[in-house]
């Protein structure tokens, strides 16, 4: 089972990173993530010499952008009536945020490659055979997640599909650096991933072919023979 990270909206990541451009907010973020325990508004304000209201505003903005997580704890150590209300505390978010232009999907490639190694060790099949099968299965899985078309899925993955006469070229390779260093392995993975997407949509009018060209993905979609 593979986790598809391609549905995370790129704009959300850009907004989150942009939120850190404000100097006070960045100082608060750095302070919170450097602490072993969650931080209260009062603690953050005191540590950075800020008004409590200012600290609260920026901490809540960081939480809204999924850069910080909010937890509630009673600092008194007591519970039950008279223990007081739980304090609102902030800690580093468990959400991973990354922005890459052009789009890159190295985590997805890592999942496929690691799973192929593990499956190969368990079954005795060649790693590349398993990788191709897993990539094909992932393509089918992505096609079944409600995308309106093949183009939608390929856009989400970062391939940037573009019509070129009667073919479709991939203007971007989401695995660019890996493909440069391990061309045969990564291009084979790409080919079977895109074949899986086509199969998942029941698309019989196009076929995925290996046609490397400078500055583009090694796979092109051509009219089926």
pLDDT 10s digit of each residue in the chain, 225 long?
A: 454 444 445 566 778 888 888 999 999 999 999 998 999 999 999 999 999 999 999 999 999 999 999 999 887 665 655 556 788 999 999 887 766 667 889 999 999 999 999 999 999 999 999 999 999 999 999 998 866 799 999 999 999 999 999 999 999 999 999 999 999 999 999 999 999 999 999 988 999 999 988 888 999 999 998
CB 105 within 8 A of CB 74: no
127: Cβ contacts below 8 Å, ≥ 6 apart: 116, 117, 120
Sheet holding 167-170, edge to edge: 161-164, 167-170, 219-223, 206-210
Q: Which pLDDT value is given to residue 97?
A: 72
| 144-152 long-range Cβ contacts below 8 angstroms, 24+ apart | 144/200, 145/4, 145/7, 149/201, 150/197, 150/198, 150/201, 150/203, 150/206, 150/221
pLDDT in the model for residue 7: 44
Query: What does the alpha-carbon distance between residue 150 and residue 143 come to, in Å, rounded to a whole number?
Result: 7
Residue 53 has phi, psi (to 5 degrees) of -65, -40
153 and 80 assigned to the same domain: no
Is 57 found in the same domain as 149? no
pLDDT of residue 78: 58
Task: Tell whether 146 and 201 lie within a shared domain.
Answer: yes
Domains: count for the chain: 2
Tokens 């409590």 found at: 52
For residue 211, what is the domain's CATH number? 3.30.1380
Residues 18 and 87 in one domain: yes
Length of the chain: 225
Domain of residue 172 covers 106-223
Domain assignment of residue 67, yes or no: yes
Q: What is the pLDDT of residue 6?
A: 44
Distance CA 61, CA 82 (A): 31
pLDDT on residue 186? 95
Residue 47: name the closest of 60, 63, 61, 29 by CA. 29
């Amino acid at each position: 089972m593979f986790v598809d990270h391609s549905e995370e909206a790129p704009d959300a990541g850009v907004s989150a990173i942009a939120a850190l451009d404000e100097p006070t907010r960045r100082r608060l973020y750095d302070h919170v993530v450097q602490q072993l325990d969650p931080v209260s508004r009062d603690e953050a304000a005191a540590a950075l010499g800020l008004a409590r209201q200012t600290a609260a505003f920026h901490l809540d903005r960081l939480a809204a952008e999924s850069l910080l997580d909010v937890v509630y704890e009673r600092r008194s150590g007591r519970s039950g009536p008279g223990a007081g209300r739980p304090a609102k505390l902030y800690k580093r978010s468990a959400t991973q945020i990354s922005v890459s232009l052009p789009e890159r999907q190295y985590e997805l490639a890592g999942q496929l490659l690691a799973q192929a190694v593990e499956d190969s060790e368990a079954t005795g099949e060649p790693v590349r055979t398993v990788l191709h099968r897993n990539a094909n299965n992932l393509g089918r899985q992505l096609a079944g997640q409600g995308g309106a078309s093949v183009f939608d899925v390929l856009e989400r993955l970062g391939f940037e599909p573009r019509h070129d006469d009667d073919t479709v070229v991939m203007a971007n390779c989401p695995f660019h650096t890996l493909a440069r260093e391990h061309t045969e392995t990564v291009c084979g993975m790409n080919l079977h991933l895109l074949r899986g997407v086509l199969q998942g949509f029941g698309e019989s009018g196009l076929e995925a072919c290996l046609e490397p060209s400078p500055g583009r993905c090694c796979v092109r979609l051509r009219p089926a023979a």
